[in-house]
């Protein structure tokens, strides 16, 4: 039996996970949307809590969408 040299093992390239990107985008989106909802006070017959809910939900949607786009960019990078 001959010795061919040291055995090297390579780890497979790590791929990003989708859920943390979506979750982070949603949290940041809710914070930004909630800020805009609370900042203006009561608007057009809506209470501050309603404004927070509507703007927060919109922020979650936009933040999750942006998180998914960032995930796709991170997943497509060359390894």
**Residue 24 token pair:** 């982070």
pLDDT tens string 46-66: 888 898 999 999 999 999 999
pLDDT beyond 70 at 79: no
pLDDT beyond 90 at 37: no
Task: Provide the sign of the torsion angle of the four alpha carbons 64, 65, 70, 72, taken in this order.
Answer: positive
């Amino acid at each position: 039996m001959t010795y061919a040299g040291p055995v090297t093992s390579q780890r497979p390239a790590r791929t990003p996970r989708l859920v943390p990107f979506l979750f982070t985008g949603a949290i940041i989106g809710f914070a930004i949307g909630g800020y805009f909802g609370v900042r203006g006070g009561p608007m057009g017959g809506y209470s501050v809590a309603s404004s927070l809910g509507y703007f927060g939900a919109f922020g979650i949607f936009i933040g999750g969408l942006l998180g998914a786009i960032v995930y796709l960019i991170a997943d497509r990078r060359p390894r």
